[in-house]
């Protein structure tokens, strides 16, 4: 999401973004919505709809009002800023958008710089944790722990605080799992790992974008489990004698190791929380052309559905166009068709055939408008 003063034309911004291969930006001049012209339903841009639908117009719906709040936002000094949405955000697209916007105006804003995952300092706690986990005792299990840590590295590519903490918790879990399996006490793992499981689920709910990275990590962990015996055989060829195999007579050592791991992982997680709370405003995104302003967005709303708003709006437009005058309401998902007559044997007879035309719009016609409504709406422009 980007914003810029109203004096800067939206068409100019969209053209500049297209020059840097961002041709899917969504603005008021490109987002299509269905609108009745009282004889049929047409697809018009929201910008065109605002010129047609004046205050008091019966075609006005909550869908229309919500869209109006998404494409403009109050700016500094009582100004109005235009908002444009950039689907599929990534660092490369952010850098390209920053170059394009900076070349047009020094005053523009976005919401990307407030992401705490953009701080490179977030990688420091998991790095220190990974090194400690690998080199700590027991020494005979270091290869296994190193493979687990490496297999979970894709989570760090997500560049988010939730994924980073998930990396720490899962690596600790796998280290504990290894100890219990080697000790022949795998049946006790559910009683030991339930805090790790609950914490991991919470992080996934907090950062759903990390799920694809977790899937890759699981695949790598499976490969690591398959390759570990082969790697151990290769490394053992250099030894004159094979390492002795020990089996714990009691579980005291394993329990102590688990407690040590659980206590130790609190430190890197606490460090990440501190970084997220205190560093985002200073760390920024690390992009050279980062703007001086940021977009403040509204809090998420419960029981809000962009798709439901759209379906309600479309049904209402159909009712206005094809229903009986005054015999429809916004709350109804259906309407009573108008009376239609045709001549039969020299007499006009009423028919039940509605005769409403079938829409030939592709399913993606209004996808951009629904995407805009699915995002949290902008409420103000703040200076960093």
Phi, psi of 3 (to 5 degrees): -145, 150
The pLDDT of residue 207 is 78
Residues 6+ apart with CB under 8 A from 48: none
Residue 334: C-alpha distances to residues 34, 75, 327, 341 (Å): 17, 41, 11, 21
H runs (alpha helix) in 2-123: 10-19, 46-52, 62-70, 91-104
- CB within 8 Å of 360: residues ≥ 6 apart: none
Cα angle 219, 221, 224 (rounded to 5 degrees) comes to 115
Query: Which residues pair with residue 275 across a beta bridge?
Result: none
Give the single-character DSSP code of 323. B
SS3 312: helix
pLDDT of residue 281: 42
Q: 285: exposed, middle or buried (C-beta count within 10 Å: 0-12, 13-18, 19+)?
A: buried
The pair of three-digit structure tokens given for residue 111, joined into one six-digit string? 């919401």
Q: What is the pLDDT of residues 27-58, one digit of tens each?
A: 999 999 999 888 888 899 999 999 999 888 88
Q: What is the pLDDT of residues 258-292, one digit of tens each?
A: 888 888 889 999 988 888 777 544 444 555 567 77
Q: Which helix (H) or strand (E) holds 212?
A: helix 211-236
pLDDT value of residue 156: 87
pLDDT of residue 27: 93
Q: How far apart are the first and last CA of the chain?
A: 16
pLDDT recorded at residue 176: 84
CB 84 within 8 A of CB 3: yes
d(CA 242, CA 309) in angstroms, rounded, equals: 69
Residue 350 pairs with which residues in a beta bridge?
A: 341
In the three-class reduction of DSSP (H, G, I as helix; E, B as strand; rest coil), residue 351 is classed as strand
Which residues of the chain fall below pLDDT 70? Answer: 112-120, 138, 182, 184, 186, 232, 235-251, 253, 279-289, 324-343, 348-360, 363, 384
Residue 94: how many other CB atoms lie within 10 Å: 23
Q: What does the angle CA 268 – CA 272 – CA 275 come to, to the nearest 5 degrees?
A: 135
Q: Do the beta carbons of residue 295 and residue 381 sit within 8 Å? A: yes
What pLDDT, on a 0 to 100 scale, did the predictor assign at position 316?
A: 85
DSSP secondary structure of 337-376: BPPEEEEETTEEEEE----PPPP---TTTTHHHHHHHHSP
Side-chain half-sphere exposure of 214, counting CA atoms within 13 A: 21
By three-state DSSP, how is residue 310 classified? helix
Strand order in the sheet with 80-84: 72-74, 80-84, 2-5, 109-110, 293-297, 378-383
Q: Are 294 and 110 in contact (CB under 8 A)?
A: yes
What span, in angstroms and rounded, lies between the C-alpha atoms of 327 and 323?
Answer: 7
Q: Which long-range contacts (CB under 8 A, 24 or more apart) does 91-95 make?
A: 91/285, 91/287, 93/22, 94/285, 94/287, 95/287, 95/288, 95/289
Handedness of CA 110, 116, 119, 120 (dihedral sign): negative
Q: Classify residue 89 by its DSSP letter.
A: -
Contact 374, 1 (CB under 8 A): no
Other Cβ atoms within 10 Å of 170 Cβ, number? 23
């Amino acid at each position: 999401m980007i914003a810029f003063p109203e004096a800067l034309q939206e068409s100019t911004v969209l053209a500049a973004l297209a020059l840097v291969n961002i041709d899917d930006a969504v603005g008021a001049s490109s987002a299509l919505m269905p609108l009745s012209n009282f004889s049929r339903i047409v697809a018009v841009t929201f910008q065109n709809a605002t010129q047609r639908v004046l205050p008091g117009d019966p075609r006005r719906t909550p869908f229309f009002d919500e869209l109006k709040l998404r494409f403009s936002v109050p700016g500094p000094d009582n100004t109005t800023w235009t908002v444009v949405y950039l689907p599929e955000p990534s660092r490369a697209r952010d850098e390209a958008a920053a170059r394009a916007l900076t070349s047009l105006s020094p005053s523009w804003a976005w919401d990307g710089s407030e992401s705490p995952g953009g701080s490179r300092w977030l990688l420091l706690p998991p790095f220190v944790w990974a090194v400690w986990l690998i080199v700590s005792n027991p020494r005979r299990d270091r290869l296994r722990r190193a493979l687990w840590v490496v297999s979970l590295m894709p989570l760090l590519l997500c560049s988010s605080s939730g994924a980073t903490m998930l990396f720490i918790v899962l690596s600790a879990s796998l280290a504990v799992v290894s100890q219990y399996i080697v000790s022949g006490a795998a049946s006790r793992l559910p009683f030991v790992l339930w805090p790790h499981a609950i914490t991991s689920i919470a992080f996934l709910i907090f950062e759903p974008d990390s799920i694809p990275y977790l899937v890759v990590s699981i695949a790598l962990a499976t490969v690591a489990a398959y390759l570990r015996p082969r790697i151990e055989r290769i490394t053992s060829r250099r030894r004159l004698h094979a390492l002795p195999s020990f089996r714990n007579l009691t579980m005291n050592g394993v329990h102590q190791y688990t407690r040590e791991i659980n206590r130790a992982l609190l430190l890197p997680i606490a460090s990440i929380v501190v970084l997220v709370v205190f560093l985002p405003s200073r760390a920024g995104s690390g992009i050279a052309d980062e703007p001086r302003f940021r977009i403040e967005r509204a809090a998420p709303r419960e029981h809000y559905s962009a798709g439901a708003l759209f379906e309600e709006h479309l049904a209402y437009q159909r009712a206005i166009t094809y229903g009986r005058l005054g015999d429809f309401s916004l709350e109804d998902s259906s309407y009573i068709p108008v009376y239609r007559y045709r001549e039969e044997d020299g007499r006009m007879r009423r028919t039940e055939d509605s005769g409403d035309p079938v829409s030939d719009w592709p399913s993606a016609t209004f996808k951009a408008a629904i995407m805009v409504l699915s995002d949290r709406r902008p409420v103000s422009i703040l200076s960093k």
